[in-house]
Every structure is written in C-alpha cells, then in structure tokens.
Amino acid sequence: MEIRLNSMVQSTGLKKVKCSVFISGTGSNLKSLIHFSKKKNSPISIELIISDNANAKGLKFGKIFKISNKVFNFKNRLIAEKKIISEIKKKKIKLICLAGFMKILSKSFIKNFKGKILNIHPSLLPKYKGLYTHKRAILNREKYSGCTVHFVSSRLDSGKIILQKKIRISKFDTTKSLARKILIQEHKLYPEAIRKVISL
C-alpha cells in the first residue's frame, strides 16, 4: 500500500493523496492535519471528516475549511462502517487518519483498508495501550512518555510503528500538563508520519 501511495504522488505530479480524518472529540490533531494539508508542498488533501459524535468540537474545523463531514451512529457498527466505506469509495479516499477516534473499527473494515489506516496514540507504544495513558505513566513514575503514530491492525494500538516522539515527564507534571505537552508533539508528529508513509 505504501508503495502505491508513493507511486500515485510521483506519477501524477502535483496530485495529492486524498485523506479522510476520523474524530470523536476536540479535534486538535484534525486542525493540525488541515493546516498541514494546506501547505504548498503537502502530499495530502483532506476530503472528508468522519465522526461518531455529532457534538464533536473538532467538526467546526471542517466547517471553517469547507471540508465535508459525515456523522455516523455507531450503535450498529456494521451499518455505520458500510456507510463509511461507501463515502470513502465515492470520494476516492486513499488514506484514513484516526485522530482521537474513540470507536474500535471491525476486523473486516481494517482488512478492507489494510495499510491505509493510521492512528495517533498518546504514549510510547507498546507501553500504555488503551485509555488513561498519562495517568498510568505518572502513577508508574515513568521518566519518559510521548506519542506514537502507527498503522492500524486488528489488535488495539498494536500495528506497526511509523514514528514516535519521546518527552521527559517532570516531577511537577500532572495528567493535564503531560497531556498538553504530548499533544503539542502529536501535532508535529502526525504530519511527519504521513510524509514518511507516503514516501516509503
């Protein structure tokens, strides 16, 4: 898949890889990815924002930049995913970026888009998969934490790692301050990881 993404960029010159970003909440990573996509030399364009939550604050960024968004109720995941697949095909999306998307995608959805789904996680994977990463890192008196961008596989937070950024946890850090520090790094790491995936 990586090779196909790359050859598409090369063979079509300026043509950008069409992306969809999936969010559930604040959307600060979405915002940073939109800014990245608007840079002159950016290899991506964001064509579609998907959310499971109509009240996700991040949806406003899509509206500001006139990017279409779709909200799907995940009470029935199978139906939601079917609709998402149809939207993705319609818009010729080649890369899916999960950014604070709080639903677990089915094995068959992931298989369908193998090697095309990325996720960002606020820990140094394989440490602290799942939720409450900052709290657990502080409670365990870790000296370092950070963030990871990885390919999505059928096991939670376990796919191949693309890039990581390590930061030091200070003795004054709280869950909040650590989350804030890591988020700043996430906003830099995700675009870098996308560039890496596309140029592989």
Q: Which residues are catalytic?
A: 121
Residue among 29 and 42 whose Cβ is closer to ligand GRF: 29
For the segment 5-24, give every residue that binds ligand GRF (CB under 6 A). Answer: 23
Q: Which residues of 64-101 are buried (b: 16+ CB within 10 A; e: fewer)?
A: eeebebbebebeebeebbeebeebbeeeebbbbbbbbb
Torsion angles phi and psi, residue 15, rounded to 5: -60, 130
| Options 5-13, 77-85, 120-128, 162-170: segment touching ligand GRF (CB under 6 A) | 120-128
Question: Minimum distance from CB of 33 to ligand GRF (Å)?
Answer: 9
Q: Tokens 């079509």: give the residue.
A: 12
66: three-class secondary structure by DSSP: coil
Q: Is 29 in the site for ligand GRF (CB under 6 A)?
A: yes
Selected binder of ligand GRF within 19, 20, 22, 27 (CB under 6 A) = 27
The strand pair at 95-98 and 68-71 is best described as unpaired
Q: Which of 119, 127, 122 is nearest to 160 (CA)?
A: 119
Q: Site mask, ligand GRF, residues 40-59, x = CB under 6 A?
A: ------------------x-
User: Number of residues in contact with ligand GRF, rule: CB under 6 A?
Assistant: 15
Q: Residue 138, exposed/middle/buried by CB under 10 A (0-12, 13-18, 19+)? A: middle
Q: Is 121 in the site for ligand GRF (CB under 6 A)?
A: yes
Among 9, 25, 103, 175, which residue interacts with ligand GRF (rule: CB under 6 A)? 25
> Which residues contact ligand GRF (rule: CB under 6 A)?
23, 25-29, 58, 99-100, 120-122, 147, 183, 186
